Structure 1
Amino acid sequence: MNALPDRRLFAYRPDLAEEALRGTVAAGQYVTGTPARIAAPVAALRPRPDEAAGIDTQVLFGETVRVLDRADGWAWVKSDVDGYVGYLPETALEAAPETAATHIVAVPRTFAYTGADLRTPAAFALSIGSRLTIVGESETRGTRYFTLEGGQSVIAGHCLLVEDRASDDYVAVAGRFLETPYLWGGRSGFGLDCSALVQLSLMMTGRSAPRDSDMQAAGLGTPIAREELRRGDLVFWKGHVAIMEDETTIIHANGHTMSVAREPLATAIERTGYLYQKPTGYRRPF
């Protein structure tokens, strides 16, 4: 008997499934979904439409999704960024724009201000990776601001064109998250988990990665031996991933410090042995 597709990446329920699964899973109806855009600064994606349910991942301001169903104030969506499927409040969505985002936030965290002046109140905060559509720009006391569709302003120097890269060195990007709080399922500059650190850091260098550590361990890059480890390689445990900063040191979002932290690999292996055993593998992501 064939195994069912991974529910994290394929949308199906007894009553409804995405059109791509027609002939693979049984469902009462198949839909292609309708496009929408994330209007909240960060929206949690959950495995069921329940605020008490744990967070599987998060989607960021300006990212786009396909809406497969809406009911009781919840939307069942599939992310266009990494294919993740889950439920979020309908209030986190707005209609998809006719034009794509022009810019991306390139610093771990920033603010959208009510006016083009840092002295005006902040309307909301934005995470690295948030997509923005810029409709104008201005300058106040030597600081350039971009104007968003909603009329808010962001610091121009905190943004890049969507086609540009924050860096060619994703480890350097990961290092900018040091001391960011650990959050299970988190995928933003306000809090993130181990695999999101990998995914976001790679994304800001123009590379894509699966969302969860088991997905990354199964197919991101190529396997290597421990003796080959160098800067940028990945170390996997069951349920965890870390980035090699150099041949002996890792950067990882972890539940021990509850933050993104730097640690000797040997120390991490010894410290986590009772819980996670030894590393399960090593990979070079590109």
Structure 2
Amino acid sequence: MDYGICMLSLVPMRAETSDKAEIVSQMLFGECYEVICKQDNWYKIQLATDGYSGWIDFKQHTPVSVQYYQEWMTAKHPRVMDLVQFVNGKDYRIPVGIGCYLPFYNGTEIRVNDKFYSYSGKCSTIELYNDIDELLKVAANFLKAPYLWGGKSIFGIDCSGFVQQVYGICGYQLPRDASQQIAHGKEVYFVNQTQPGDLAYFSNSDGRIIHVGLLLEDQKIMHASGEVRIDTLDHNGIYRTDFKRYSHNLRSIKRIL
């Protein structure tokens, strides 16, 4: 079995072995993965963080040892907190964005296999998921980030990627898709009983979960729809004042914290 680590700011994970194929997700710098199989110039990988799988270009694969992968899996790695920062190698630097992983960070350097890279930016060094204020501060960094199907970065993100990143940076790992995330947390039965940090889920006419957003105070919701934005939530769903209509139908509200 082969293992790897993302050594670029982000790498697209595709549904099929083609550069034209749908991007199902992205892996971020410092994120480890297992190579499930190989086909031509493509590797099918499974992320160590959330178990999500997809195809990556073999040229974007950086191998790591079995020992390193196992160590990575058992350790807790800080995340980049600056919107954009750099990890510095001997002869080059790698741009990294908020949410990227800093493997085995010791305050000045990260370690990949037996090589060390310097990092001097801000990072999450403690678990913050019991601190609502910190969670909301992290979420606010993503405001106005453009919507991108399968995206997980400040320069392109989808609804479940946004929620996963915010909670992940604060130390709580959620699954990748909204339909998987809804299994987490405790049910909140009424909109007027919501608290900041709760997650609201929305369904289509077939009852399938298709959207998720993060609750704020005063029944406001932050979510990725065209961009990461703030709208109003009531018992029907998300109301867009700019469109003067509802954009998403409410299905369930869950409390993670």
Q: TM-score, normalised by structure 2?
A: 0.79
In structure 1, how many angstroms separate the alpha carbons of the residues matched to 2:248 and 2:118?
48
Q: What RMSD, in angstroms, separates the aligned Cα atoms of the two structures?
A: 2.9
TM-aligned CA deviation for residue 189 of structure 1: 2.6
Match of 1:89 among 57, 63, 75: 57
Is the Cα contact below 8 Å between 2:82 and 2:121 reproduced in 1? no
Q: Deviations over 1:144-192 (max 9, x none)?
A: x6476667543x242344xx23663322211121122221110123221
Residue equivalent to 1:10: none
Match of 1:244 among 201, 204, 215: 215
Match of 2:86 among 100, 111, 117: 111
Mapped pair 1:129 → 2:99: yes
Distance 1:273 1:57, change over 3 A: farther
User: Matched residue pairs, number?
Assistant: 235
By relative contact order (CA 8 Å, sep 6+), the higher-ranking structure is: 2
Residue equivalent to 1:223: 187
Residue equivalent to 1:269: 238
TM-aligned CA deviation for residue 203 of structure 1: 0.9
Mapped pair 1:41 → 2:40: no
Runs of 4+ in 1 over 6 A off after TM superposition: 134-137, 272-275
Residue equivalent to 1:233: 198
In structure 2, how many angstroms separate the alpha carbons of the residues matched to 1:269 and 1:158?
34
3-state SS, counterpart of residue 239 of structure 2? helix
Distance 1:50 1:62, change over 3 A: same
Q: TM-score, normalised by structure 1?
A: 0.71
Greater Cα offset, 228-237 or 262-271? 262-271
Q: Deviations over 1:221-263 (max 9, x none)?
A: 12211232121111111211111111321111112xxx21122
Is the Cα contact below 8 Å between 1:210 and 1:220 reproduced in 2? no
The residue type equivalent to 1:109 in the other structure is V
Percent of residue pairs identical: 27
Mapped pair 1:186 → 2:151: yes
In structure 1, how many angstroms separate the alpha carbons of the residues matched to 2:48 and 2:140?
26
Residue equivalent to 1:4: none
Q: How does 1:140-179 map to 2 (within 5 A)?
A: 146=109, 153-154=118-119, 156-161=120-125, 164-165=126-127, 168-169=131-132, 170-179=135-144
In structure 1, how many angstroms separate the alpha carbons of the residues matched to 2:162 and 2:187?
20
Query: Considering only CA atoms, is the larger Rg found in Structure 1 or Structure 2?
Result: 1
The residue type equivalent to 1:252 in the other structure is H
